[in-house]
Each structure stands twice: as C-alpha cells, then as structure tokens.
C-alpha cells in the first residue's frame, strides 16, 4: 500500500515514514525542506516541493497513485502564529485546500491529518475529550480547526474520508536512535531543556509562573512521537476498513508543568539545567491534558512510552548522539 507522507522530512513525519516502511507499507515523501531535513528521510523516495503548489502535487499524485495521504506538512509554532498569522493561514489552510483539490482530481479518498490540541483553546474542563468545545486562541489552532471543518465538508460533498489526530505535546525520539527532533529555530520545551543540559544553551526560559496551575507554570500532556506514529498507522487501517471520518485526541492523560519537565530532565541527564523566569508567551493556554479514551477504544491504540522520563531519555540520547546531524 502506497502512502504519501507530506512533511515526511520533519520531526513527526520522518518517524512516521520509518514506521510505515517497517510495517511493510510503501511511503513516499513530499517535503519542501523548509523545516524538514533530507537526512531524516530513510527508506522512502523524497519529492521536494510545496504541498500548496498544484502543478507539483498533481505530478506527484499522478506518479505515486497513493491509497492514502498522511498530511504532516505545516507551520507549528504558537508564538510565531501570533506574530505572523498570514503564514499560518497560507501554509496550513490554503496549502491543505490545494492538496485536497489535487486529491479529488486524482481520486485519492483517504487522509490522515495532523491536527492539534490548540483547536480547543482555553479548556473549559480537563482532560479534554473529542467533544470539548473548539475555541482556538491563536492563529495556529484556528488554521488547524478550519481544516478540520473543511474536511467534514469535503466528506459530506465529495466522500473524502479523513481522520484528524489532535496531538497534545509531541516529544521524545525514535527508540532506535536513528531519528529525532530537529527544528530550526527550536522552540519546544523538551529539546530546549536538553540543549541546556548538553551545554548548547546557557539556561532554559520559563514562560510565566503566574498561571492558574499547581506551580504556576503551564501544564502539558507530553506524548512520545513513536506512540503518535502508531496511532497514525491505526488510523490508516481504520480508514482502509471503510470507517467514517472522525477525530481523535492523542495524549497520555497526564499533565506535567514546565517546572516538572525541567526537574525530570535534571533527573534523566544529571545536569543542573539553570532556569530563568520570563514573561508569558502570548497564545499559551494554562493547561492542556488529553482524554484519549476514544483512540484507545476505537483504534485499539496503546501508548507504549507514556512515562515522562522515558520520553525525555529518548530525546536525550538523540541530543547526545546526533543533535540534528550537525555534530558527530
């Protein structure tokens, strides 16, 4: 089964490509390499180009004729989306609509879409199940929620079947040590904390300690990238079985504060990791924790690396051994 993976040179996409290949499927990657890395694409052909470029994506679909598309490509930073919303609507919404048009032209009827917990905004309750109100508070979340709504309409009108997977905080690295997280610039908490531990940064900034949480810092539900990818594989099988379009929240159901993550990283790495308190980052909800029971029940999803120290430990191995392929 041929699967087209957009953003397959990026963090989660590259782990997905490796898992698809290991599972006997045939992934092909589309990536414009604006955020992804050529070195991250293992075991799959890479088509370099922009998902929003209709002529390019038409040519790729004509050549590959995939049974399904996994759409990871997009812009992912909450803070940047507040400063540059146009980029988010262009890369996440407009480009996805172009991809959907191309899929329709080529008769590709199945899509697994990378969505986000940011579609929920400030939670009215935690943990957050699929029925929680969708009220995103930043352009990143809004752009993803708009795509989710467009996908529902595309199913009703054109029969496009999709599964939207709302990631909570993707973290960790390939347990085999081949792949890991490599954003430039890096903005995510766990890789930044580990860059402090390895001496690449002087300190970790804590963005606000006056939130309505137990220690005042933001609480997030960190989910291992490998567990996320396994959920995608199950979603693919779900669609292949002819099941209805839907969405699933993906997290472990345990929230950790920024301070708890830093403490865990000190424990795992044995490094002191200096911290500096800074102002809040615009667009951050205080607490995001998933209720992922639906994914467990419907897809049979079973996270295997739920422990925070394991997640940080895999990311630490990656930081020490590869550090984005820039060091030996």
Instruction: Give the nearest distance from C-beta 220 to ligand UDP in angstroms.
Output: 5
b/e per residue 232-256 (b: at least 16 CB within 10 A): bbbbbebbeeeeebbbbbbbbbbbb
Quote the strand ranges of the chain, DSSP E.
2-6, 26-31, 46-48, 68-71, 110-116, 161-167, 169-171, 204-207, 219-220, 222-224, 246-250, 256-257, 275-278, 287-288
Q: Which of 61, 163, 179, 189 binds ligand UDP (CB under 6 A)?
A: 189
Strands 256-257 and 219-220: antiparallel
Q: Is 140 one of the catalytic residues?
A: yes
Instruction: Give the nearest distance from C-beta 87 to ligand UDP in angstroms.
Output: 16
- List the interface residues with ligand UDP, window 147-186 (CB under 6 A): 169
The smaller minimum CB distance to ligand UDP, of residues 221 and 291, is found at 221
Q: Which of 33, 205, 320, 324 binds ligand UDP (CB under 6 A)?
A: 205
- 192 near ligand UDP, rule: CB under 6 A: yes
The smaller minimum CB distance to ligand UDP, of residues 76 and 151, is found at 76
**CA 174 → CA 54, 225, 319, 324, distances in Å?**
33, 7, 12, 13
Neighbours of 183 (CB within 10 A): 16
Q: Which of 104, 106, 188, 201 binds ligand UDP (CB under 6 A)?
A: 188
Q: Which residue is nearest to ligand UDP (CB)?
A: 218
Closest residue by Cα to residue 115 from 169, 171, 164, 79: 164
Segment interacting with ligand UDP, rule: CB under 6 A, options 94-102, 202-210, 265-273, 296-304: 202-210
The smaller minimum CB distance to ligand UDP, of residues 21 and 137, is found at 137
Instruction: Give the nearest distance from C-beta 218 to ligand UDP in angstroms.
Output: 3
Closest residue by Cα to residue 12 from 226, 215, 218, 156: 226
Segment interacting with ligand UDP, rule: CB under 6 A, options 5-13, 45-53, 198-206, 243-251: 198-206
CA dist 328 and 315 (Å) reads: 16
CA dist 236 and 70 (Å) reads: 9
H or E element: which one contains 98? helix 95-106
- List the interface residues with ligand UDP, window 60-99 (CB under 6 A): 78
Q: Which of 284, 308, 311, 322 binds ligand UDP (CB under 6 A)?
A: 284
The smaller minimum CB distance to ligand UDP, of residues 254 and 281, is found at 281
- 200 near ligand UDP, rule: CB under 6 A: no
Q: Which of 5, 258, 268, 289 binds ligand UDP (CB under 6 A)?
A: 258
Q: Which of 187, 198, 213, 243 binds ligand UDP (CB under 6 A)?
A: 187
- C-alpha 234, offset from chain centre: 16
Q: What is the DSSP letter of 297?
A: I
Q: What is the DSSP letter of 91?
A: I
Instruction: Give the nearest distance from C-beta 209 to ligand UDP in angstroms.
Output: 9
Prior bond of 192 cis (ω within 30°): no
The smaller minimum CB distance to ligand UDP, of residues 26 and 187, is found at 187
The smaller minimum CB distance to ligand UDP, of residues 141 and 247, is found at 141
| Contact call for residues 34 and 184 (beta carbons, < 8 A) | no
Of the listed 11, 88, 89, 140, which one is catalytic? 140
Q: What is the DSSP letter of 181?
A: -
Residues within the interface to ligand UDP (CB under 6 A): 78, 169, 187-189, 192, 204-207, 218, 220, 258, 281, 284
Residues forming the active site = 140
């Amino acid at each position: 089964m041929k699967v087209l993976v957009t953003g397959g040179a990026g963090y989660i996409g590259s782990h997905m490509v490796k898992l698809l290949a290991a599972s006997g499927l045939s992934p092909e990657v589309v990536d414009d390499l604006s955020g992804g890395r050529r070195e991250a694409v293992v075991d799959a052909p890479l088509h370099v180009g922009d998902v929003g470029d209709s002529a390019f994506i038409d040519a790729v679909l004509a050549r590959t004729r995939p049974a399904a598309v996994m759409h990871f490509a997009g812009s992912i930073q909450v803070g940047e989306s507040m400063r540059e919303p146009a980029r988010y609507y262009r890369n996440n919404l407009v480009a996805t609509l172009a991809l959907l048009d191309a899929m329709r032209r080529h008769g590709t009827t199945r899509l697994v879409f990378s969505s986000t917990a940011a579609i929920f905004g400030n939670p009215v309750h935690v943990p957050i199940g699929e029925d929680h109100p969708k009220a995103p508070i930043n352009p990143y979340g809004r752009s993803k929620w708009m795509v989710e709504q467009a996908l529902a309409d595309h199913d009703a009108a054109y029969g496009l079947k999709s599964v939207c997977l709302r990631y909570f905080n993707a973290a960790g690295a390939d347990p085999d040590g081949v792949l890991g997280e490599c954003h430039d610039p890096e903005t995510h908490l766990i890789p930044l904390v580990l860059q402090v531990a390895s001496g690449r940064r002087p300190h970790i900034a804590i963005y606000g300690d006056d939130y309505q949480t137990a220690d005042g810092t933001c609480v997030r539900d960190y989910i291992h990238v490998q567990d996320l990818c396994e959920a995608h594989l199950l979603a693919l099988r779900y669609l292949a079985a002819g099941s209805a379009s839907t969405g699933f929240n993906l997290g472990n159901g345990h929230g950790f504060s920024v301070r708890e993550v830093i403490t865990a990283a000190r424990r795992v790495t044995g490094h002191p990791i200096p911290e500096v308190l800074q102002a809040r980052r615009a667009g951050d909800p205080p607490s995001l924790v998933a209720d992922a029971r639906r994914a467990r029940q419907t897809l049979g999803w079973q996270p295997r690396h739920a422990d925070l120290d394991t997640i940080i430990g895999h990311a630490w191995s990656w930081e020490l051994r590869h550090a984005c392929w820039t060091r030996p």
